[in-house]
Amino acid sequence: MNLSQTCHAPDAWHERTPEMRVLMVEDATDLAETVSARFARVGIACDLAATVTEAEDHLAVQRYDALVLDINLPDGSGTDLLRRLRTGGNRTPVLMLTALVSVDNRVDALDLRADDYLVKPFDQRELEARLRALVRREAAQKSDTIQLGALSYSPSQMSATLDGEKVTLTRREAALLELLVRFPEQYLSKERLYDGLFAFDDADVGLNAIELYIARLRKRLAGSSVGIETQRGVGYRIVDRG
């Protein structure tokens, strides 16, 4: 069974956003599915990867709040993946998850700038608590404001100002704006925006929903130097034309 999948909680999609989005890299099928099912119940969106290659594919198209990373994987080592992430400047919080219990293993992972370490077997509640602590710590270390020309966006408050005036945003609009402003001048595909915005599965929600929210954001930004551009077949990007 291929573990590369997304775990969703069955609930209405309207104006709901996940508490966090996590990538779990684990080749033990039973463990991965058990953990991800619990994540879904508590509002944590979880993507699963069974190999280093699958994990890299996920990371190439999706931003995560945290990674749960096993050390021993079928096609390589989780520590090698961690090394590549840190060398490439990726500071996503990483919790190493492994059956290895020696102090040397823990020290090696932490020296590679893993953020935390949990040994199997573990209590699901502890895993969730540790992930929340990592995400809170990372948020506190980041600047609370993202600036793009006249636009200021606060991720922690999910709020924005334009030329000093507060912009009225729904939670979905704020989440979409955050995705765009974190990658200014870079085109993001409709599929990537969809994955970041609609973490919970709903048969009534299609890709066209992104066009709706893009149109709403354009109205919010109208009259300013900041705008959203479309490149057909590629995606959307936010730019400052000032």
Q: What is the pLDDT of residues 151-160, one digit of tens each?
A: 999 887 889 9
Tens digits of per-residue pLDDT, 20-38? Answer: 899 999 999 999 999 999 9
Mean pLDDT of the chain, nearest integer: 82
Which pLDDT band, with edges at 50, 70 and 90, does 162 fall under? very high
Count of positions (residues) in the chain: 242
Q: Structural domain boundaries of the chain? A: 5-141, 146-240
Q: Is the pLDDT of residue 3 over 50?
A: no
Predicted local confidence at residue 62, as pLDDT: 86
Same topology between domain 5-141 and domain 146-240: no
**Architecture (CATH level 2) of domain 146-240:** Orthogonal Bundle (1.10)
pLDDT digits (tens, 9 = 90+) for 92-111: 899 988 776 566 666 666 67
CATH architecture observed for domain 5-141: 3-Layer(aba) Sandwich (3.40)
